[in-house]
Structure 1
Amino acid sequence: MITVANRIYVKPEYQDQFAERFRERAGLVDGMPGFVANHVLRPTREGEPFVVLTFWESRETFEAWTQSDAFRQGHARSGSLPREAFSGPNVLEMHEVVTSSPTR
């Protein structure tokens, strides 16, 4: 299993609007083969990024998502915020899950 973390730096005055975008998301990723889970993490300290954290069965299933029509549709309808809403570039990280504890 892998995780993909997209760290997105959002200015404080746009954070509520950014979070709402994800609450109202299309959800197209949910039905993709290999998709496990999606978590959107809001920063608790100023200057830190939101983290959009997805879990995938493999790197190949994540890459298939990024090449899919569903990916393009989901990102096209997301109601993008203006460029000035962001305080820095996104940072994409991919990690292999080495060990995991059960969720409650």
Structure 2
Amino acid sequence: MTPPRVRVLVHARAPEGEEGAQAVSAAYHRISEALRGTPGLLGNELLHSRVDGRNFVVMSEWESPEAFQAWEQGPGHRSTTAPLRPYQDASRGRPFDVLTVSARY
């Protein structure tokens, strides 16, 4: 049986103004370039809310829980993701979630 894929959602909130949204986007692109070729990473997307323009979600997809865990516990995780950290939306208690796909149509 194939292990379930993992999706990681990181919620971000941009500072006021157009520059804030650009800063979140720039941080996302910087991190994505650094993660290119990471074992187990299938891809990622930057999602921008149409309801509240300050809200963003970074969604990454990993081939397995083990692949994500190996990267997360590795030495480069914190430094690679540091550019987005100032924008993480802590108003939700925890700015991220790690999910497995439990059903699909």
Judge same fold: TM > 0.5, yes or no: yes
Give the Å deviation of 1:93: 1.7
Residues 21 and 3 of structure 1: CA distance in aligned 2, closer, same or farther (over 3 Å): same
- TM norm structure 1: 0.71
Over 4 Å off, 4+ runs = none
Tell me, yes or no, if structure 1 residue 5 matches structure 2 residue 9. Answer: yes
Name structure 2 gaps, 5 residues minimum: none
Using the alignment, how far apart are the partners of 2:47 and 2:34 within structure 1?
19
1:68 aligns with 2:71: no
Residue 99 of structure 2 is aligned to residue 95 of structure 1? yes
Superposed displacement of residue 80, structure 1: 6.0
Distance 1:25 1:94 in 2: 18
Deviation for aligned residue 1:47: 6.4
Instruction: Tell me how large the CA RMSD over aligned residues is.
Output: 2.6
Q: 1:91 to 1:35 in 2, by over 3 A?
A: same
Give the match's secondary structure for 1:33: coil
Structure 1: unaligned runs, 5 residues or longer = none
Q: 2:34 aligns with which of 28, 31, 37?
A: 28
**Cα distance 1:47–1:15, how it changes in 2: closer, same or farther (>3 A)?**
closer
Does residue 56 of structure 2 align to residue 50 of structure 1? yes
State how far apart, in whole Å, the 2-side matches of 1:45 and 1:39 are.
18
How far does the alpha carbon of each residue in 1:11-52 deviate from its partner, in whole angstroms, 9 at most, with x for none? 332112111222233623232221111101112222662101
Is 1:38 the counterpart of 2:44? The answer is yes
Preserved CA contact (<8 Å) 1:43 1:50: yes
- Equivalent pairs counted in the alignment come to 95
TM-score (norm 2): 0.70
Structure with the higher helix share, 1 or 2? 2
Residue type matched to 2:48 in 1?
Answer: R
C-alpha distance in 2, partners of 1:79/1:91? 11
Asked if the contact 2:14–2:23 (Cα under 8 Å) also holds between the matched residues in 1, the reply is no
How many percent identity over aligned positions?
22
